[in-house]
Amino acid sequence: MLKLQGKHIYLATLEREDCKKIWNDFEYDYDNPTEPLNIGHSVEKADEWFNEIQKLQGGKNIRLGIFLNDGCVIGDVALQDIDYKHRSCSIGLGIAKNENRGKGFGTEAVKLILEYGLDHIGLERFTANTLEINTPAQKSLEKLCFILEGRERNAYYFGDKKFDRLNYSLLADEYKR
């Protein structure tokens, strides 16, 4: 079983019960919206999500749970759409409860999975997207040396407003450990 230890959190394989806990604990942050919007899905969707994780794990994706050092699962982080030929992927992150956001857990989780992708898979390019109004995600990406690469104008419609999607990237030689 894969386990990546950080200072405040560790990353490890997600089990079915972990997926259910993340699913049940999820609180949507309307001030810092993310994509996709999954409000109102039943608990059965957590089982479907777990099955999808298992289907893609180790191939197109590497998705791990984010656990506090006491063993409580608080979210997930992933290397997604891995392209082994071109040594690239996108990064995905989710922290279930608002109380666990803004504490650096997400930044630490992305750092751990970035280092895993660099050191163990040989990935050389990482991308990440966020909405223009999600400034905590932007600050986290920039802290990890991601560069704003582009803007998709009016790409996301939420709450009677349109928002731009910001595209970030990080190259292996730009990452400062």
Rounded distance between C-alpha atoms, residue 110 and residue 66, angstroms: 10
Q: What is the pLDDT of residue 45?
A: 87
Q: In this predicted model, what pLDDT tens digit does every residue of 108-120 receive, in sequence order? A: 999 999 999 999 9
Report the pLDDT value the prediction gives residue 36, as an integer from 0 to 100.
61
pLDDT at 51: 92
- Write down the pLDDT at residue 159: 79
Element (H, E) at 123: none
SS (H, E, C) 106-138: HHHHHHHHHHHHHHHHCCCEEEEEEECCCHHHH
pTM: 0.93
**What's the CA gap between 135 and 33, in Å, rounded?**
10
Which residue segments constitute the domains of the chain, with CATH numbers given? 3-174 (3.40.630.30)
pLDDT at 177: 58
For residue 136, give both structure tokens.
Answer: 């905590």
What's the token pair of residue 17? 């019960």
Place of tokens 């898979």: 121
pLDDT reading at 35 higher than 70? no
